[in-house]
Amino acid sequence: MTPGMDLLGEIPEDCADKKCLVLDLDETLVHSWFKYVENANFVVPVDLDGVKHQIYVCKRPHLDEFLRAVGPLFECVMFTASLRKYADPVCDFIDIGSYFRHRLFREACVYHQNNLIKDLSRLGRDVDQICIVDNSPVSFLFQPNNALQITSWFDDPTDQALLDLIPYLTALAKSDTVVDYLREFRPPSSAAVAQPTTPSWLLLFNPSLTDDQEGSDGALDDVSYDYTEADAVLSPHFHPLSANTSTSLLRSYLAQADHTSPASTDAQLVVHQHRMQLTNSSLNNPTTVPPPPPPPPPSPLPPPSGAISFVHQVTRPETVGANAIGTRLPNPVELQDMKAI
């Protein structure tokens, strides 16, 4: 728990011995459109800048069964980056059994480096006993070890992710700690996205942002950003992290992933920073990235015939877009429609 942070208040008496299950809304439990959808389960009217919009909402297959099975086992929290005026009535429709003990909306997110993040340490619960189920890795950027990244859902009527997660979460409710269980037991591949070897925040690198653009936690001003209508109401699309944040996070990641000396970690950091500089020439703050080392002097004579050359040829990594950091990173095509939360 973080001192002074208690978004959920006191633990209900009937949840004293239960773990906390944080569930995302959009693309996790439901999907919504600003246009007419014939098979929508219900319609939510929302006033946006004086204009009334009809939002058509579809429930993910097996949602009702999922809530009936999992709801009584946990202290369930609906946590979304969407606006309250949209998400609250959606919860009224889908949570007929009142399984959500708490509802948290966009104002409860942490606005950090132009991203909306769900900081579990602010809930007022033991973080080791909190599990977040979310389709966006940006949502659980601060506590990735507590996350179950569910597959995104849009309109597939044959989807069974929620159904497949019931036995997994049932066992999780009986485990010692959430973090240990998630580390030891993998969720079903049909329902969850495998955690990438590269940390999710690294895929969000954006050299166009600086630390001066980083805001504090709290509500996001919808007017100050060029959102589409859907983004202004629903969970907004993700915005990449700044160069300074990626550098500081990279240092801690390398320290955890590589059990070598701090000097070795710093050396790796310089290599990664060098790669960032090569692929992102538009960095506004070059002091955050050390200049590349000078190239080795050319060999005066070519190696004799049959000899082996030990000169390591460093080639410029390909730039695959504004988010590129090097050819070692996967192309984050799957993130193009990802919301921040």
337 is catalytic: no
Residues linked to residue 112 through DSSP beta bridges, in sequence order: 115
3-state secondary structure the chain: CCCCCCCCCCCCHHHCCCCEEEECCECCCEEEECCCCCCCCEEEEEEECCEEEEEEEEECCCHHHHHHHHHHHCEEEEECCCCHHHHHHHHHHHCCCCCEEEEECHHHCEEECCEEECCHHHCCCCHHHEEEEECCCCCCCCCHHHEEEECCCCCCCCCCHHHHHHHHHHHHHCCCCHHHHHHHCCCCCCCECCCCCCCHHHHHECCCCCHHHCCCCCCCCHHHCCCCHHHHHCCCECCCECHHHHHHHHHHHHHHHCCCCHHHHHHHHHHHHHHHHHHCCCCCCHHHCCCCCCCCCCCCCCCCCCCCCCCCCCCCCCCCCCCCCCCCCCCCHHHCCCECC
221 is catalytic: no
Which amino acid, 84? R
- Say which of 14, 24, 47, 211 is annotated catalytic: 24
- Say which of 26, 95, 119, 134 is annotated catalytic: 26
Residues designated catalytic: 24, 26
